[in-house]
Structure 1
Amino acid sequence: MTTDADHRPAALEGIRVLDFTQMMLGPFATQILADLGADVIKIERPVVGEWERSLEFAGELVDGDSAAFVAMNRNKRSVAIDLKAAGAREALLKLAATCDVVVENFRPGVMDRLGLGYDDFRAVRPDIVYCSGSGWGQRTKYAAMNRPGQDLLIQAATGLAANTGSAADPPTAAGTSMCDATGALTLANGILAALLARARHGIGQRVEVDLFHATMAILCQEISAMTNLGIDFSRSPAGVGQPWLSAPFGIYRTADGWIALAMGDIGVVAEVFDDRLVAGMDPWLDRDAIKQRLDAATPTRATDDWLQAMLAAGLWAAPVRTMKQAMDELITDESDLVVEVEHAGGRTLRLLGCPITLSETPWRQRLRPPTVGEHTHDILAAVLDDAELTALQKAGAL
């Protein structure tokens, strides 16, 4: 990350984003744009703000804000406005005329009913990039059924949860919001592609990304093997790490912890362990037997002993760590990924920064996560006159 004294331009400097998103799918995507220099204007409900501000982690908030909210809303400015109040639509369309991108992740049809759909914004900015994020898409059967689209539900619906764990386990959810994060990264990519198309071809367009299809897309290799090889993969009873891979792929208990062992030639595995342990065994057909034999052997030595032996032999291995251990290492190593930000309440927040490194247009930590409506007057005063602002205030919109 650069310092305040570094005046190199940001990659998205000059791009303005009108952000109607909430939860993770939208805010994580727009924070990437903000980190890369875009002016992201977050539209929130008056007083209470975005829904995720109140999402507690283990029953706790960070100075009144959710730990999730502050993790995904830095480098943004906040406008608090009631979308249904008199004059709000007109004010937002005036603001949109100064914007390059509009992003929303309401349920399909909500923005159109508010008079803030793609055609409404295109009328005031013909080359607008209008991006809609959703759980199931805009015109699919589940969208028509108004099905809720949330990360766990998408993990269940795509087969991701059913692929995780051993055969005796119930379907197992990932340890983070994998589908939300995948959707957010896809959303950011779609917006960047549309901005490049506008720069190259002079056109605006609508971008649509949803959690279900984005998650199905990251299952591409497994689905390709299933559909093209005609194999319906099943989870390993012994706990081989993925249904479609052979031994030794998996996680093993050691004398003092756990170690992960990825793809490796079975002959090399035999060299590291007892040659007789897996001699003559087929890594796919005998994968459960191999996993069970290695499971019995690994508790005899400490994690670091196994790690050194496996790495020396050319096997792909790593110790299994907690998030705290991984984060502590980043802090100790003074990683650029760790940033400190002052919260509005005065507390110093330690957050993870942008993982993208650009040599000539590096990302910057510019703004802390905003309070609700912190920038409402400054932003709207640039596009509305005093009478219009006063009318909005009297209408209770702000």
Structure 2
Amino acid sequence: MEKPLEGIRIIDLSRILAGPWCSQHLADLGAEVIKVEHPERGDDTRGWGPPYLNGTHEAAYYLSANRGKRSIAVDIAQPEGQALIRELVATSDVVLENFKVGGLKRYGLDYESLKQIKPDLVYCSITGFGQNGPYSKRAGYDFLLQGMGGLMDITGNPDDEPGGGPMKVGVAVVDLFTGMYAATSILSALMGRNRTGEGTWIDLALMDVQVSMLANQALNFLTSGKSPQRLGNSHPNIVPYQAFATADGHIILAVGNDSQFQRFCKVAGVPVLASDERFATNRSRVLNRAVLIPQIERLIRGHPSQFWLNALERQGVPCGPINSVEQVFADPQVQHRGMQMKMTHVEAGEMSLVSNPVRFNDASLNADQPPPKLGEHTRSVLSQLFPDREDYLDNLRDKGVIR
């Protein structure tokens, strides 16, 4: 199948997670992604381990976000390296970068400089706080932004409960969301370029993305004037919608409407609960949460998890287990959908990766190449783009400009 972004070339100057997550998705969609790395250090996440891929120094963290790219090692601090990147940009469609504000200007690789070379360039900048504002010069990391952007204040148990206090999410969700916002923004800018012939500078800030991710919780505040509070595994606007202890473990009960609540009460043997005016509607259940939840807790503790999972599924009441990551990849639905995929690494042989979840015409979209070694494609990429300049490339290698 011809992929939708075939023919699009992206110069990826980003590292860590938000930028690489974006460019990996675009590579899966068919774009040619040239990952530019420092000849000695490379992407910081290459060393963010253990664990490391067997027989290599490649951290699992790095492997999670760099499939489908070709790595070239170029020292952009040297004038020859800067000139090389400018030549690459002249034949490319997109530049993706996550340097500090103004960090690339001194190298002549900022948007204003590069659009003189490529007027229709799509240039995406990812920073912690954006290109302007009182915090624009600060570095931004996911953990910081989860705290500063309000997410940790609504995540975790309430302060007066065991283990209470602010809690970060188990994966770097601000980086991941920013990466996906970057991908959709780049695609939108490319569509706009097709109509107008003009390029675009995209300014994406992790802080802005985190604020937008507050979603219904932001509107809960903006509508009521009251900051939402941590509710642990409970939902601020839906009841019952949380984790419950069973006789032998835990399940999630996710009642999304009144008819589902009625069916739950039937399975639990308390149909009268659904007709109680305090609990008959979601609005009333939210208002009377403190009275209802202890009753449900007592009911669910009376049977093992599998009883509830089987009985509630038969009645169409949303519920599920709380799986470990190991159990996730053993789940028959996850296996059926092919979410664990195999690729061949140049050093380690067969390796496992997580598939792109997007399917076109019932086919998964995954790039053909595994995450590259540092500088693995420097010579092949540059020789392809500059076929008559082998002596020039040899000279750059000898001077340490490329690897």
Regarding TM over 0.5, the answer is: yes
- CA shift digits 1:220-268 (9 cap, x unpaired): 22212321233433234xx4523x2242111011122211112343544
Partner residue in 2 for 1:79: 72
* Cα distance between partner residues in 2 of 1:330 and 1:127: 47
Gaps in structure 2 of 5+ consecutive residues: 279-283
Task: Answer with 82-91 or 323-332: which moved more.
Answer: 323-332
- CA shift digits 1:141-198 (9 cap, x unpaired): 2123x2x311111111111111112313111111111111111111111111111111
* Cα distance between partner residues in 1 of 2:334 and 2:154: 35
Deviation at 1:74, TM superposition (A): 1.2
Task: Answer with 185-194 or 276-285: which moved more.
Answer: 276-285
Instruction: Report matched runs for 1:7-22 at 5 Å.
Output: 8-22=1-15
- CA shift digits 1:352-372 (9 cap, x unpaired): 111111129862431111111
In the alignment, structure 1 residue 257 sits paired with structure 2 residue 252: no
Tell me the TM-score normalised to structure 1 length.
0.90
* Cα distance between partner residues in 2 of 1:332 and 1:81: 39
Change (3 A) 1:362 1:312: closer
Partner residue in 1 for 2:191: 196
Gaps in structure 1 of 5+ consecutive residues: 1-7
Partner residue in 1 for 2:38: 45
Amino acid at match of 1:104: E
* Cα distance between partner residues in 2 of 1:142 and 1:136: 6
Change (3 A) 1:386 1:211: same
* Cα distance between partner residues in 2 of 1:205 and 1:360: 33
What is the RMSD of the two structures over their aligned residues, measured on CA atoms? Answer: 2.2
Task: Answer with 92-101 or 261-270: which moved more.
Answer: 261-270
* Cα distance between partner residues in 2 of 1:16 and 1:332: 32
In the alignment, structure 1 residue 154 sits paired with structure 2 residue 145: yes
* Cα distance between partner residues in 2 of 1:126 and 1:25: 26
Contact kept in structure 2, 1:17 and 1:100, CA below 8 Å: yes
The structure 2 residue matched to 1:305, chosen from 295, 304, 307, is: 307
* Cα distance between partner residues in 2 of 1:109 and 1:295: 55
Partner residue in 1 for 2:281: none
Larger relative contact order (Cα-Cα within 8 Å, sequence gap ≥ 6): 1
* Cα distance between partner residues in 1 of 2:347 and 2:149: 41
Give secondary structure in 2 for the equivalent of 1:77.
strand
Contact kept in structure 2, 1:240 and 1:246, CA below 8 Å: no
Give secondary structure in 1 for the equivalent of 2:71.
strand
Contact kept in structure 2, 1:259 and 1:319, CA below 8 Å: yes
Contact kept in structure 2, 1:10 and 1:361, CA below 8 Å: no
Amino acid at match of 1:158: G
Change (3 A) 1:200 1:361: farther
Partner residue in 1 for 2:21: 28
Tell me the TM-score normalised to structure 2 length.
0.89
- CA shift digits 1:66-87 (9 cap, x unpaired): 1011121111101001111231
Aligned length: 385
Give secondary structure in 2 for the equivalent of 1:315.
coil
Partner residue in 2 for 1:116: 109
